[in-house]
Amino acid sequence: MIVVVQCHIIRNAGAIKPTAADLASAGESSAVAEPTRCLPHSTPLQEIQDMEKGVRIADLFRDEHKYVGKRTLVQGWVRTKRDSKAGISFIELNDGSCMKNLQVIAELDHPDYSELLKKITTGSAIMVEGAVSLSPGKGQSIELSADRIHLYGWADPALYPLQKKRHSFEYLRQIAHLRPRTNTIGAAARVRNRLSFAIHQFFQIHGFHYIHTPIITASDCEGAGETFRVTTLDPAQPAPEGGDPYMSDFFARPAFLTVSGQLQAEIYALALGRVYTFGPTFRAENSNTSRHLAEFWMVEPEMAFFDLEDDLDLAQTFIKNLVGVALNDCQDELEFFARFIEPELTGRLQAAAESAFEIITYTEAIDILIKSKEQFSFPVEWGHDLQAEHERYLTEKVFRKPVGIINFPRSLKPFYMRVNEDEKTVAAMDILVPGTGEIIGGSQREERLETLLEQMRLKGVSAEDYQWYVELREFGSVPHSGFGLGLERLMQFITGIPNIREVIPFPRTPGHVDF
């Protein structure tokens, strides 16, 4: 009896519905504004840095009034330098702390640095000391008048690849060691940082425990054919014929890089209630698309006592919260993306943060696609997987907002998804967003021992290999659910950046593992 009561309480707490604060427009929302206070800003460490190492340009702009009229020291990389006829040189300095450049005013014939100033080029790393003042010029609020300049490292203009012009993303990928110094890649890195932190904040605030699931695993059921093998065997020296080739391998059995931390997260959910993993994930997908990487970062919450509806609620609240954080805390970056990448970006994000997602069943989705009379390259038929073109049609053309699709055919989905009463479908969910397609895949997990064993038989998964997974259904099994969100897909959705290779610092794709 006590157990039942307890479960009931947790179950009710389980459904994390979007709160008014989550849904409120980002600027006014306390739930969204909260994280800002946790950012390193005016901490004691910052004060020490102010005295000794100079000021981050982000802090300078944030606390302008504090710095105007004061001697200040900044350090960064020169974006451009322009000499005026009036004997003044204007340097646009960026230190990566924010989108904005600081305008440095230097005198061409200054007795202390006129020779040095001539040498400074785009890409050079410098330190500048001088007084901060309100800027009379357009485009910036404050500027710094240099009375001391130090050149850390020069960049030869004949060789430095990032001159002041727009470079193609393809070109920038070849210089991934320099591309974070561009506006787009720098901005993407800052948004990615803020979202990663927000993901932890969201789960920690809602009582989830962060679990480190393994990177090396022996379970390969999920990614049949898509797994990277982990081995210390030398391909140049194959094992003698006839014997077990794995006998002399490190783990004495086949091992792989993880394609998902879900199965291990389930173990901890069935002990700690609400957990999440957030880490690198590997899939040897041999497809060169704009939304697949061989190495990507996945966020996987797993919740005991959650059914599919609770899972959907959580996913929706989670995405809205992250969009709100970006709108609130990454304004300069989003403005930049709206200017140069996707003009409608802010409106699209605001709509996603405010309106409820559309939830339809797989069967309804198939009906809509058939009735659409649209020419698709892949067939639309009950029992066939939805392809990217179908997903995008639904979320971009039909509903024009994020869409959750539930209850997929049992035959399409892995063994662990919970079989629905119709016995033809499983309690699965995919969340699709305009521009990107699927960003979340999840399900309620099969908690009934007999049904799980039958599913394993049907799908050819060995119950012996997954004995531990089966045992979770023998000892204290409970309904539970979870999902996986690809961080890079979320980044594409939030920044509007079309290719996934630009939202991760070092993309790994077929044939590409440089840097």
Binding residues for Mn ion, rule: CB under 5 A, are 441
Shorter beta-carbon distance to ligand ATP: residue 15 or 284 = 284
What is the secondary structure of 478-507 as a DSSP string? --EEEEEEEHHHHHHHHH--S-GGGSSSS-
**331-340 helix and 308-329 helix, angle to the nearest 10 degrees:** 90
What does DSSP assign to residue 399? S
Q: Which of 203, 268, 296, 318 binds ligand ATP (CB under 6 A)?
A: 296
Q: Is 274 in the site for ligand ATP (CB under 6 A)?
A: no
| Binding string, residues 438-457; x marks residues near ligand ATP by CB under 6 A | xxxx----------------
Cα–Cα distance for residue pair 385/398, rounded to 1 Å: 19
3 state SS of 194 = helix
Q: Give the residue nearest to Mn ion (CB).
A: 441
Shorter beta-carbon distance to ligand ATP: residue 161 or 280 = 280
Burial class of residue 106 (count of CB atoms within 10 Å of its CB; 0-12, 13-18, 19+): buried
Query: Phi and psi dihedrals of 64, rounded to 5?
Result: -45, -50
- The least distance separating ligand ATP from the CB of residue 83, rounded to whole angstroms, comes to 46
- The least distance separating Mn ion from the CB of residue 225, rounded to whole angstroms, comes to 16
Q: Give the residue nearest to ligand ATP (CB).
A: 441
Nearest to 282 by CA among 253, 249, 256, 254: 256
- The least distance separating ligand ATP from the CB of residue 229, rounded to whole angstroms, comes to 17
Beta-bridge partners for 482: 302, 443
Burial class of residue 161 (count of CB atoms within 10 Å of its CB; 0-12, 13-18, 19+): middle
Indicate which of Mn ion, ligand ATP, none lies near residue 410 (CB less than 5 to 8 Å, by partner kind).
none
- The least distance separating Mn ion from the CB of residue 438, rounded to whole angstroms, comes to 6
* 442 neighbors 429 (Cβ within 8 angstroms): yes
Indicate which of ligand ATP, Mn ion, none lies near residue 489 (CB less than 5 to 8 Å, by partner kind).
ligand ATP
- The least distance separating Mn ion from the CB of residue 413, rounded to whole angstroms, comes to 9
| Binding string, residues 463-502; x marks residues near ligand ATP by CB under 6 A | ---------------------xxx-xx-------------
Helix or strand run (H / E) with residue 457? helix 449-459
Shorter beta-carbon distance to ligand ATP: residue 32 or 433 = 433
Q: Which of 129, 147, 249, 285 binds ligand ATP (CB under 6 A)?
A: 285
Per CB under 6 A, residues contacting ligand ATP are 283, 285, 292-293, 296, 298, 438-441, 484-486, 488-489
